């Protein structure tokens, strides 16, 4: 073969090598994009990782083709890869180095101010904290049930639907507001790929709705089925479906919510980068109709008011932690002025909005809070209240300690306003996660604690404890919408009965005045010393023909 022919052959082989490498890159990156759905965005970490993997894979494939064709004339010296492959590996190395540089220059070391200024925190007064909190007067707005308890109720409801439970499972629960009330909602999800394949034409039948106030759960059927979901596959996979419509958007968390007309939506938070790469904060949300897949993007200021969750609790804590950490820049060896969240959070329904609240403590992480933040989970508006007091876990321990003989565990507390006094309120659960008792703990002084079997009894007992401690709570002031107040009677006991109700022993005292008074025996074991004929003085509440004793002692 002539030199000219060899030269032409080499040229053809080199061109073929480049074609194979380029096609391999396109195919491999297409597979990566379809499977992992990264944003095609120069500020997205996963975008660079996908490019690097595709380049290296293309170099390998190009070399394999060269080896199979035994056309080693276009190999690089002693490397076993083609010239195009070597170029692709070189490009991958350059991109990897660029990624390392971008991560370094985007770190808090050089961008402490940007990390801190992702949020604006409005400081409010202690009086505003009391007024902004939901009042104990509106008991129906206080959601004390945690996700674990809600899951048990939801699983119980799903278990009664034999045609559903065999194919679907309950997905994550989200706290939302529906018609002015806090609710926990969880869509169903496909149990496996094969179960999706069997039900893909009809979709997921509905969702579980749990009322955390009444402890009632129901299965809500969705007309047309939930066709787009994270548990679906191929084009019906939620993230893949959204990615194909918004290839450059950077996605954050997603939640399942219901609009005012009962239509079901997936709300996907979109993020912006405040540095070259990293330092994320929400910029808006994509609303995807879970039935027909229709999508619409809204900027953060334009998101419809029925949407409750855009900022997740984790994102809210992360943003504030950076706000508190970099108060004096990155270099702060003395840790002066550094604050952080207490690493857990609760939800509060205020009006038609859901707020996330958490305590703020010093970097020393002691057992007290410097204050609290309340954050609108739709708009991301932060309010800080400088109110020192017990942090949430100390309050939970106080509640558990009041009933330590039973081994009950306290749920993460909510915050309420009891006659102008900030108060933790939580439930105590047994080993089966069943709610057994209610607890109220004073925020400023967690030694003021009341534990009772009903919420109303707990409130009355707590108000009495506040009065005994010399607080500003007024016992003659109505405690709820029914106008309940604490009363006093002196009477002679004509009969005593001990009655067990759902595992709790109550003492019933019949007086010579014709009234019957009751109190939980575990709250006042001195009742065992009372006898028929004793003259006693009792403080009690009277509500709906039920006399609930707060305290009782022999009259002098």
Give me the pLDDT at residue 501, please.
67
Question: Which H/E stretch holds residue 227?
Answer: none
For residues 421 and 531, membership in a common domain is answered with: no
Say if CB 267 and CB 307 are below 8 A apart. Answer: yes
Please classify residue 121 by burial: count the beta carbons closer than 10 Å to its beta carbon, then call 0-12 exposed, 13-18 middle and 19+ buried.
middle
Domain CATH code at residue 519: 2.40.50.1010
Same domain, 148 and 97: no
Separation of alpha carbons 85 and 177, rounded Å: 56
Do residues 56 and 200 both lie within one domain? no
Choose the final residue of a domain: 89, 105, 121: 105
In this structure, the answer to whether residues 149 and 283 fall within a common structural domain is yes
Q: How far apart are CA 144 and CA 441, in angstroms?
A: 14
Based on the fold, state whether residues 147 and 278 are members of the same structural domain.
yes
The verdict on 145 and 17 lying in the same domain is no
Spatial separation of the C-alpha atoms in residues 346 and 361, rounded to whole Å = 16
Asked if the structure places residue 501 within a domain, the reply is yes
The token pair that represents 410 in the structure block: 């306290």
Question: What is the structure's pLDDT at 481?
Answer: 39
Identify whether 325 is part of a domain.
no
pLDDT value for 482:
41
Is 327 inside a domain boundary? no
Neighbour tally for 299: CB within 10 Å: 10
Q: Do 91 and 19 lie in a common domain?
A: yes
Residues 464, 498, single domain; the answer is no
Is the entire prediction scored with pTM above 0.85?
no
Task: Say if CB 173 and CB 255 are below 8 A apart.
Answer: no
- Both 527 and 436 in a single domain? no
Structure tokens at 424: 């933790």
On whether both 149 and 239 belong to a single domain, the answer is yes
Instruction: Please report whether residue 36 resides in a domain.
Output: yes
Q: 367 in a domain, yes or no?
A: no
Tell me whether residue 40 is in a domain. Answer: yes
Give the residue from 250, 278, 310 where a domain finishes. 310
Is residue 213 in a domain?
yes
Q: Give me the pLDDT at residue 181, please.
A: 82
Domain count, the chain: 4
From 257, 285, 310, give the residue that closes a domain: 310
Domain assignment of residue 413, yes or no: yes
323 touches 338 (CB < 8 A): no
Three-class secondary structure of residue 294 per DSSP: coil
pLDDT computed for residue 415 by the predictor: 86
Residues 294 and 146 in one domain: yes
| Whether residues 73 and 201 fall in one domain | no
- State which residues form the domain around 97: 3-105
pLDDT in tens, the chain (556 residues): 454 554 676 677 778 878 888 999 999 999 999 999 999 999 999 999 999 999 999 988 887 776 666 554 444 444 445 677 788 999 999 999 999 999 999 999 999 999 999 999 999 987 788 778 877 766 656 667 778 888 888 888 888 887 788 889 999 999 998 887 889 999 999 999 999 999 999 999 999 999 887 788 999 999 999 999 999 999 999 999 999 999 999 999 999 999 999 999 999 999 999 999 989 999 999 999 999 999 999 999 999 999 999 999 999 999 999 999 999 999 988 888 899 998 889 888 887 889 999 999 987 656 678 899 999 999 999 999 988 888 888 899 999 988 888 889 998 888 888 877 889 998 898 888 788 889 999 998 888 899 988 887 888 888 878 877 665 444 333 444 344 466 788 899 998 888 876 667 788 888 888 888 888 777 777 888 888 889 988 887 765 555 777 677 777 6
């Amino acid at each position: 073969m002539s030199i000219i022919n060899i030269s032409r052959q080499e040229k053809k082989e080199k061109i073929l090598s480049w074609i194979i490498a380029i096609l391999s890159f396109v195919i491999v990156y297409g597979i990566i994009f379809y499977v992992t759905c990264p944003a095609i965005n120069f500020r997205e970490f996963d975008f660079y990782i996908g490019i690097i993997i595709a380049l290296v894979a293309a170099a390998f494939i190009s070399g394999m083709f060269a080896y199979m064709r035994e056309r080693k004339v276009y190999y690089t010296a002693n490397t076993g890869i083609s010239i195009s492959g070597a170029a692709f590996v070189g490009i991958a190395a350059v991109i990897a180095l660029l990624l390392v540089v971008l991560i370094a220059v985007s770190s808090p070391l050089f961008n402490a101010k940007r990390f801190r200024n992702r949020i604006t925190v409005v400081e409010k007064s202690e009086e505003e904290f009391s007024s902004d909190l939901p009042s104990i007067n509106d008991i129906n707005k206080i959601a004390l049930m945690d996700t674990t308890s809600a899951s048990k109720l939801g699983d119980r409801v799903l278990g009664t639907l034999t045609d559903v439970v065999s194919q679907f499972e309950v997905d994550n629960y989200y706290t939302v507001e529906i018609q002015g009330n806090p609710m926990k909602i969880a869509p169903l999800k496909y149990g496996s790929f094969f179960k999706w394949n069997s039900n893909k034409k009809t979709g997921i039948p509905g969702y579980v709705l749990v009322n955390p106030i009444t402890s009632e759960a129901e299965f809500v059927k969705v007309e047309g089925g939930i066709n787009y979901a994270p548990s679906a596959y191929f084009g019906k996979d939620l993230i893949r479906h959204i990615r194909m419509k918004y290839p450059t958007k950077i996605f954050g968390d997603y939640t399942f919510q219901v609009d005012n007309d009962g239509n079901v939506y997936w709300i996907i938070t979109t993020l912006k980068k405040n540095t070259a790469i990293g330092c994320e904060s929400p910029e808006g949300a994509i609303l995807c109709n879970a039935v027909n897949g229709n999508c619409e993007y809204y900027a953060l200021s334009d998101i419809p008011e029925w949407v409750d969750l855009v900022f997740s609790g984790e994102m809210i804590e992360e943003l504030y932690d950076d706000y508190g950490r970099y108060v004096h820049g990155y270099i702060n060896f003395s840790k002066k002025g550094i604050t952080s969240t207490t690493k857990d959070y609760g939800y509060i329904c205020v009006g038609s909005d859901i707020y996330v609240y958490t305590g703020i403590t010093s970097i020393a992480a002691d057992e007290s809070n410097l204050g609290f933040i309340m954050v609108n989970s739709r708009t991301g508006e932060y309010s800080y209240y400088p109110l020192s007091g017990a942090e949430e876990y100390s309050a939970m321990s106080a509640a558990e300690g009041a009933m330590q003989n039973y081994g009950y565990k306290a749920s993460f507390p909510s915050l309420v306003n009891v006659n102008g006094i900030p108060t933790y309120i939580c439930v105590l659960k047994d080993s089966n996660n069943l709610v057994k008792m209610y607890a109220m703990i004073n925020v400023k002084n967690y030694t003021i604690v009341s534990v009772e079997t009903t919420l109303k009894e707990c409130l009355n007992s707590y108000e009495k404890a506040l009065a005994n401690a010399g607080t500003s709570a007024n016992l003659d002031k109505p405690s709820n919408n029914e106008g309940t107040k604490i009363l006093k009677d002196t009477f002679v006991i004509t009969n005593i009965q001990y009655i067990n109700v759902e595992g709790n022993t109550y003492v019933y005292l019949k007086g010579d005045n014709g009234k019957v008074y009751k109190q939980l025996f575990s709250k006042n074991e001195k009742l065992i010393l009372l006898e028929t004929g004793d003259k006693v003085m009792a403080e009690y509440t009277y509500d709906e023909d039920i006399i609930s004793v707060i305290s009782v002692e022999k009259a002098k």
